[in-house]
Structure formats: structure tokens, C-alpha cells
Chain A
């Protein structure tokens, strides 16, 4: 069945460092891909999405490109802030219906 695999955390970075969180997926067809963020004590918020190959999703300085050839959707940010500390979930949605999530990657940004 469809699945999502993320790099394990926690990831600890200094402020202004470059961030990459790897995400790869297995799916039949052409799923849509998402990154959700969960700040401490809060629910899930959609960070960005891409619905077809080579699409780039972006929001709040974060970017991810839908790479069908490598079945990947890596999350990047050029300069992280302390306020970016959160858990990041990669997810896919295949032809509507349920979201399938990766295991989440905790990011901690130190001043």
C-alpha cells in the first residue's frame, strides 16, 4: 500500500542554518503531497503542498519540490528561526480520501 518515509529526528540546528528534511513516498498513480507542521501543544497546520510532478510548494520560506523520478518531496528552508521549532509531517493523498502521514521529524532551532 501507499506509504511515506521521513528522515528520523530530532534535528537540532542553530538559528539561520539551512534545513532539509527528507521525505520519500511509495504510491500508485499520482498522489498529492503535503507538509504539515505541528507546533508544541497545537494541532496540524498545512504548511505547503504540491499536486503534480515538478510542482514546487512554498510557504513561510519553506519549499518542497515534487520529484516523481525519485519519489521524493524534501522540505527545505534557507535560514531557520527559533519559531520554526516544531514537528514536521510529510503526507500524501492518493485520488482523494485519507491522508497517509510519515512518522514526523522534530526540529529544534537554538538561538
Chain B
């Protein structure tokens, strides 16, 4: 069964450093998403991406964040200069248009720890 994959599973970085989180969505999916979950809190939407551009973003997704689909398979989230409060689990998701209300399939997540 096709699945969304994410790498790395755990990333540790120093405050102020840039990180890139990588996702490989399900191959025929066209919508891509990033969510994050700070430890013990709810899952929060960050950004959605369709047709090579951002379709929606939340208030969390400020100028420090960017997304890219550099080739036909990867979908990346870049944090330009990490802060302590960026420590969280980051989930990638993808969906296919036409499925009932865009059912989203989630990857296993990348745990980001900012020291």
C-alpha cells in the first residue's frame, strides 16, 4: 500500500541554524501539507501546496518557513533560522483531488529538537 515517507525521523539542531525536512508524498497525489505538533499539544496546520504554489498558510507559517517541491517526488519544509519554539513533531500529508473531501494521508513525522 502506498504511503507517505518522511526523513529524517529525528533532527537535532542548534538555534539559528537552517533545517530542511523532507517528505515523499504518495506518487499520484497532487495536494501536499505540513502540520506540526508541539509536544502534548494539538496538531496544527502550517501550509498547503498545490500546482507548485502555496494554496493556504497559517499564521505560524511566517517568513522563516518555506516549502518547495524540487522534483517530481519530494516535498520539503525549510526553516531558515530555527528557534527553540520550533521544536515539535512535523507531519507531512498528501491527498488526491476528487477523493471525498480530500482525505489526507500522513507520514510518520520528523521530530525536530532545537537546542
Contacts and interface: CB of A to CB of B under 8 A. Distances in A.
B51 interface: no
A42 B105 CA distance: 14
Given A43-B91, A44-B43, A98 B48 contact: yes
Interface of A: 31-32, 36, 42-46, 49, 51, 89, 91, 93, 95-104
Interface in B12-37: 31, 33, 35
Contact of B42 (A31, A96, A102): A102
A32 B45 contact: no
Interface in B41-81: 41-45, 48, 55-56, 58
A23 to B, nearest CB: 13
Contacts of B93: 99
Given A43-B91, A101-B44, A104-B42, A96 B108 contact: no
A43 B55 contact: no
Contact of B103 (A49, A89, A101): A49
Interface of B: 31, 33, 35, 41-45, 48, 55-56, 58, 91, 93, 100-109
A49 B91 CA distance: 20
A73 to B, nearest CB: 14
Contacts of B35: 99
A44 B48 contact: no
Contacts of A42: 108
A98 B106 contact: no
Contacts of A104: 42-43
Contacts of A98: 33, 45, 48, 56, 58
Contact of A51 (B31, B44, B58, B100): B100
